[in-house]
A and B are shown apart, each in its own frame.
Chain A
């Protein structure tokens, strides 16, 4: 969603600075329709570069991790737009317009992702409930890291372990919910996602 808004914002700024492609006989409405039709292609391209995988796979994904794939995706997208515009008679985007779009998109897309991540990770509804299987030294260290870093977006539901070590004082309020044999029931009860 952040990318859609950022692309739309970028398109609007380019439109404001350079106006419509009057030389090609476009109206603002036609340009907007062409842009809207291209949005799924941009999102598919971002998907191909793995830009929607990081948050699902890693709790500590940052926009800095996204920057190079984003740079490549935007560059390839602008280049493809240029090629398509030169190969067809119907769409003709000027180099100036494409270069400005490329520059602005490289600034606005990461900014949009930062804002969306801050927004999402600060909302309780978006927290991933998390169980840690193993309440030994490693499991407890992971739990402390999760507690110290709310930006990971993980909410610790508790531990599952057949023979837990005494919990660190920092984890006094984290319960041991049962044994690994009870895992399925615990997951169903607590709605854990990790």
Chain B
């Protein structure tokens, strides 16, 4: 479960890649989670995922 660390974006990406390589399920706490409700859904803006 990826919460927030002080290591920055690239370190977060390394964690995601490591989990993919290890075939480990990963939950990511999104930025601005305080205002993202449980009904939020992903949509795609030309390939970039956005939470609505």
| Chain A interface residues toward B at CB < 8 A | 56, 128, 130-136, 138-139, 142, 161-163, 180, 183-184, 187-188, 192-194
Contacts and interface: CB of A to CB of B under 8 A. Distances in A.
A20 B49 CA distance: 54
Contact of B24 (A134, A135, A163, A187): A187
A142 to B, nearest CB: 6
Contacts of B27: 194
A134 B5 contact: yes
A133 B29 CA distance: 10
15 contacts: A132-B1, A133-B1, A133-B3, A133-B5, A138-B3, A138-B29, A142-B29, A162-B5, A162-B6, A163-B7, A180-B5, A180-B14, A187-B22, A192-B24, A193-B24
Q: Is the interface of B mostly helix, strand, loop or mixed?
A: loop
Given A138-B33, A180-B14, A184-B18, A161 B25 contact: no
Contact of A194 (B5, B7, B11, B26): B26
